[in-house]
Amino acid sequence: MQYISTRDTGATPASFTDILLGGLAPDGGLYLPVEYPQLTDATLTHWRQVLNTEGYHALAAEVLQLFVDDIPAEDLKAITARAYSYPKFASEDIVPVTELEPGLLIGHLSEGPTAAFKDMAMQLLGELFEYELARRGEHLTIVGATSGDTGSSAEYAMRGRAGIKVFMLTPAGRMTPFQQAQMFGLDDENIVNIALDGVFDDCQDVVKAISADAAFKSEHRIGAVNSINWARLMAQVVYYVSSWIRATETNDQKVSFCVPTGNFGDICAGHIARQMGLPIDRLIVATNENDVLDEFFRTGDYRVRSSSDTYETSSPSMDISRASNFERFVFDLLGRDAERTADLFGIKVRQGGFSLRDDPAFADAADRYGFASGKSIHADRVATIREVNEKLGVLLDPHTADGVKVARSLAPEIDTPIICLETALPVKFAETIAEATGSEPEIPARFEGIMEAERHVLDLPNDAEAVKALIRERA
């Protein structure tokens, strides 16, 4: 399996372990397989048996082997067994699927160490990084950005690992107290938290600027854990497979997925799974007030917003107005035209966006790729949290509530069961939960005392050079 950049116009394809440690491609694009592996009925039947008899970690090893041919299969099995284990994950199923109401299910992605779906990829990434760095005798400096859960998931996955240093950028004051406590409460020598004076998109721009500085990147061995890293999407493909298996009995049954998203990473993994031949009907994009993606799928206009035009909402992990992973989908949508993709995302996005409204590729995108979309605002998510809690006895976090609201609104148009992918546990968003239900969510025993821990974080201006200086000093 070889990989190319979305902006690649002739460079030599790269291997998995080379792109694992690199993050962005040298040309600024994102890596994708030269072609997606195709699933057969026999493969699906085999995977169903593997999940049901051996468990999630064994299924993960099977899926990864389709994308990774430069790590021995036995080593991959050991890596996934370490990444997806109980009680590291609170459920032995790792990703349980339960029925919320007829036709609407929840894929529980928040059973991991930080109670967020990001754990699903990060726990694997930590194992892969440590394995490959040891094999090469190298070190890695990870520079990442988070709007909420990526940071804590990455830091819990990387803390204490040999040869790895983590610099994580957060938008100052934009995360919930629990999210801040999870990250800033860590006092590991290889973890450095940075509160940047800006919003998430500013943090992400700084990460991209650092990655684009080839000399600095090479000198400090800069890598990425954000969803620009292909290995994260590869890991997320696994839970689309496992959720489909748990929601069906035969291979001819299809399901749809509704995914709360701002950066288009989680649902991009669903796009890849669907392209591989997993029986997925519709992929529903659920946004909050920052509805750049919903606007695109409704109109064909991708209109990015400035930091000042990015709303601060009660589903903060989706407060994003430039979706990094969207480039991967548009690359596929445009027939893998790397030159055009480079123009759209390397130039047009910097100028405010682009439109595919009149492009034939957009006209049949819903039929070819299964996408639909919808938007949820604060009043919607609060009402959904309250109603689901009162009537069904289930407490949703605000992002998952956005997904449930959008899934319900589109359900009459869809003939298949919809699995809404959970984002996090409600404890991370106590203020919104209290507004919706009248009381704050209970803190699970595994997080007892987290709010009282001493904080470790550095304040920096919105300036890539300032972050570079810190990396030079602390790496």
Range with the poorest average pLDDT among 147-151, 333-337, 371-375: 147-151
Centre a 10 Å sphere on the Cβ of residue 136 and count the other Cβ atoms it contains: 12
pLDDT band at 9 (very low <50, low <70, confident <90, very high): confident
Residue 70 has pLDDT above 80, yes or no: yes
Tens digit of pLDDT for each residue in 151-166?
Answer: 889 999 999 998 999 9
CATH code for the structural domain at 97-114+230-437 = 3.40.50.1100
What is the pLDDT, as a whole number, of residue 212? 84
Q: For a pLDDT cut of 70, what percent of the chain falls above it? A: 100
For residues 222 and 408, give the distance between their C-alpha atoms in angstroms, rounded to a whole number: 42
Mean pLDDT, the chain, rounded, equals 94
What is the pLDDT, as a whole number, of residue 451? 87
Q: Per-residue pLDDT averaged across 110-138, rounded?
A: 94
pLDDT band at 49 (very low <50, low <70, confident <90, very high): very high
The answer to whether 112 and 104 have CB atoms below 8 angstroms apart is: no
Tens digit of pLDDT for each residue in 253-278?
Answer: 999 999 999 999 999 999 999 999 99
What is the pLDDT, as a whole number, of residue 469? 96
pLDDT band at 249 (very low <50, low <70, confident <90, very high): very high
Matching residue, tokens 């998510």: 381
pLDDT band at 150 (very low <50, low <70, confident <90, very high): confident
Range with the poorest average pLDDT among 26-30, 257-261, 394-398, 433-437: 26-30
Tens digit of pLDDT for each residue in 174-223?
Answer: 888 888 888 999 999 999 999 999 988 899 899 989 988 989 988 998 88
What is the pLDDT, as a whole number, of residue 443? 87
Who wins on pLDDT, 222 or 128? 128
What is the pLDDT, as a whole number, of residue 197? 93
What is the pLDDT, as a whole number, of residue 226? 74
For residues 423 and 261, give the distance between their C-alpha atoms in angstroms, rounded to a whole number: 9
What is the pLDDT, as a whole number, of residue 224? 74
Q: Per-residue pLDDT averaged across 449-462, rounded?
A: 91
Spell out a b/e string for 148-173, using b for 16 or more CB atoms within 10 Å of the CB, else e. bbbbbbbbbbbbebebbbbbbbbbbe
Tens digit of pLDDT for each residue in 16-44?
Answer: 998 998 777 888 899 999 999 999 999 99
What is the pLDDT, as a whole number, of residue 317? 83
Q: How far is CA 250 from CA 47, 48, 270, 275, 283, in A?
A: 12, 9, 20, 19, 20
Handedness of CA 235, 240, 241, 242 (dihedral sign): positive
Range with the poorest average pLDDT among 48-52, 144-148, 375-379, 465-469: 144-148
Tens digit of pLDDT for each residue in 299-324?
Answer: 999 999 987 888 989 998 888 888 98
Q: Please, what is the end-to-end C-alpha distance for the chain in angstroms? A: 33
- Backbone phi, then psi, for 397, in 5-degree steps? -80, 165
What is the pLDDT, as a whole number, of residue 214? 86
What is the pLDDT, as a whole number, of residue 300? 97
pLDDT band at 297 (very low <50, low <70, confident <90, very high): very high
Q: For a pLDDT cut of 90, what percent of the chain falls above it? A: 79
For the residues of 426-474, what is the DSSP string, one character each?
GGGGHHHHHHHHSSPPPPPGGGTTGGGSPP--EEE-S-HHHHHHHHHHH
Catalytic annotation, pick one of 77, 118, 217, 375: 118
> Is position 118 annotated as part of the catalytic site?
yes
For residues 237 and 370, give the distance between their C-alpha atoms in angstroms, rounded to a whole number: 16
Q: How far is CA 406 from CA 145, 317, 372, 377, in A?
A: 27, 17, 10, 10
pLDDT band at 147 (very low <50, low <70, confident <90, very high): confident
Residue 149 has pLDDT above 80, yes or no: no
Tens digit of pLDDT for each residue in 82-108?
Answer: 999 999 999 999 999 999 999 999 999
Name the nearest CA neighbour of 389 among 426, 421, 418. Answer: 426
